Structure 1
Amino acid sequence: MATQADPHADAIEEIFTTVAALAPDIRDALPGRRVQNDETNPSGETQLAADAYADELFLDHLGALDSVVEYASEERTKIVPTDGEEETGLSVAIDPLDGSSNLKSNNTMGTIVAVYDAPLPAAGSDLVAAAYVLFGPITTMITADGDGVTEYLVDDGVREVITEDVQLPDDPSVYGFGGRVPDWPDDFTAYTEDIESDDSMKLRYGGAMIGDINQVLIYGGVFAYPALESAPNGKLRLQFEGNPIGFIIESAGGRSSDGTQSLLDVEPNDVHQRVPVYVGNDELIEQLEAALD
């Protein structure tokens, strides 16, 4: 948790507590919301009933906090102003249900939260905290703030510390690469071949970024959703995915990159801006940037 020396400590704690408290409601609602809505989200993806439900739930509860002045979601076109205290409030950007396409096959998914001390769209340097909730066999929550990274068990909506000061292991062992292989640029393909030729590295890719990121955080390794031939900016969103995941991984001793620089240094220009995402152990990201140079 953030220290009381941090002027945003109480606000961050309130936001994290609210997100954890909503986790059981979202998880309990999943079985009855596996059907598609008749809408797509701003990224052009088909929206499930579960996506819309989680988004509304987070807006209702986070938007009611005095500590939150703006709410943005992957599921909404526009940023929503709230009734928070403008002089001291924070902006929250959220992916309500990352990996919701896994709902049909009953695989891992989760929620990603970015907390900015600036109007949206905001830069990674404006992040004061980030978190994700993972709906796996158990519900866990990873938080990152000025005090580092903490892993929690979420039991009945309450956080219980599992591990404090989470750090990426020094000996990485997993990798996960998104996008269609024929759509990968040649330089990225060459990098993946180097990784795959290392007998110590094992493929872990589950179709929900948050699950793959958690494997990297626990076991060490690299996750990439690269620039593609058909999509030079990749697929993932800077505000909802790139920045918060970059913040968490860097806070845990790893590195993030868009291929040339830290994700936290990418200039924001739109709330739904896409960006290539590469995160993991320092030496693996350094190797990747050299390959893409």
Structure 2
Amino acid sequence: MSNGDAGPVGHEQVNTNIVTLTRFLTEEQTKHKEATGDFTLLCHALQFSFKSIAYYIRRASLINLGGLAGSVNETGDDQKKLDVIGNDLFIAAMKSSGRVKVLVSEEEEELIPCDQLNPNARYAVACDPIDGSSNLDAGVSVGTIFGVFKLAEGSKGTKQELLLPGTELVAAGFTMYGASTQLVLTMKDGPVNGFTMDTSLGEFILTHPDMKMPKKRSIYSCNEGNSKYWHEPVLEWVDSLKQAEKPYSARYIGSMVADAYRTLLYGGIFAYPADKKSPKGKLRILYECAPMAMVFENAGGQAIDSNMRRMVEVVPESIHDRSGIFLGSYDEVQKVIEIHKKHGISA
């Protein structure tokens, strides 16, 4: 007896035309005659770091990698043991690639030079190696957020040269380490593609090609525990969602990568606004806000800061500069913009 197109009952249908991340990158490279292969090699180093971090996260409880490392990172957060390991893995992968000139990490105060193997390397990578690590011991999904810039020829890789808006990113994305390891990747003005880690093959497999967000969805995600510090437009916006004819569903995990991935798949909006306690906001522009904004815009959504500026156009004042953010479905972010306009706040 057959079961539709799924083959005989009890038998797994075998897909023999698997698109791995390696194959995907190689095929993309062939579309660009001017390609040197440097970017492809950099992406291979990135995927190796994601696989390595995923491995240690899966084994964290078994080999005593939970809890604090006893140190604090540049941005004032207590470091977990896995923060330190994830950071070391990422730095080692970038240095060994020979294609990265300089790296910015949330865990390091200063820029990290990576061009020992190749002084002519042109790429700069900004990353948060393990975002949401405060949730690790509870088994909540965490992730890596990254953005890739191409520096001008002859660049020295100085801090000033890294203070770039998201419009200068050549690639961006994030990896979520949860029930499965998901990689979301996009390139400048290109589609958003999602890959799932197949642990038996040791490969990222293309499972979500050309991801597009729903234009609207009645889901909002924000930490309402901070509402006593929120400014009036934000309070009015959240209240309007609760008072809608069909009230919105609240979904907040507290791990940006997990909240953003759900929003990307299902639609809705994720918000972490600047407030009276954190006037500039809490999320870092260079390696959290800008890469996420690029992903969401390329998937048909919007991303803005608390001043209603397009997030990818915001220029950081320092490598660890912060911002508030609203990102999600196009129409949902537009509602935020319209309410702020009523209060005289517009880009």
TM-score, scaled to structure 2: 0.79
Larger radius of gyration: 2
* Residue matched to 1:90: 123
Q: How does 1:91-106 map to 2 (within 5 A)?
A: 91-106=124-139
What SS does structure 1 have at the residue aligned with 2:97?
coil
For 2:255, the aligned partner's letter is A
Aligned residue among 128, 143, 148 for 2:191: 148
Report if aligned partners of 1:174, 1:215 keep a CA contact under 8 Å in 2.
no
Counterpart check, 1:163 vs 2:205: no
Report if aligned partners of 1:20, 1:133 keep a CA contact under 8 Å in 2.
no
Higher relative contact order (CA closer than 8 Å, sequence separation 6+): 1
Report if aligned partners of 1:20, 1:154 keep a CA contact under 8 Å in 2.
no
Report if aligned partners of 1:68, 1:92 keep a CA contact under 8 Å in 2.
yes
Q: Counterparts of 2:172 and 2:65 in 1: how far apart (Å)?
A: 27
Report if aligned partners of 1:17, 1:158 keep a CA contact under 8 Å in 2.
no
Gaps in structure 1 of 5+ consecutive residues: none
Q: Counterparts of 2:32 and 2:149 in 1: how far apart (Å)?
A: 18
For 1:242, the aligned partner's letter is C
Query: How many correspondences in the alignment?
Result: 293
* Residue matched to 2:89: 57
* Residue matched to 1:283: 331
Q: How does 1:11-90 map to 2 (within 5 A)?
A: 11-30=38-57, 31=60, 32-83=64-115, 85=118, 87=120, 89-90=122-123
* Residue matched to 2:241: 195
For 2:92, the aligned partner's letter is D
Distance 1:39 1:169, change over 3 A: same
| Superposed CA RMSD | 1.9
TM-score, scaled to structure 1: 0.93
Q: Counterparts of 1:213 and 1:43 in 2: how far apart (Å)?
A: 21
Deviations 1:44-78 (A, max 9, x none): 11001100100000100112212211111000000
Q: Counterparts of 1:70 and 1:173 in 2: how far apart (Å)?
A: 41
* Residue matched to 1:234: 281
For 2:260, the aligned partner's letter is I
Aligned residue among 245, 249, 271 for 2:292: 245
Report if aligned partners of 2:216, 2:330 keep a CA contact under 8 Å in 1.
no
Report if aligned partners of 1:66, 1:89 keep a CA contact under 8 Å in 2.
no
- Cα offset for 1:87? 4.6
* Residue matched to 2:270: 223
111-120 or 2-11, larger mean C-alpha shift = 2-11
Distance 1:59 1:186, change over 3 A: same
Deviations 1:151-181 (A, max 9, x none): 0012234221002111101342422113612
* Residue matched to 2:142: 109
- Cα offset for 1:196? 2.9
What SS does structure 2 have at the residue aligned with 1:63?
helix
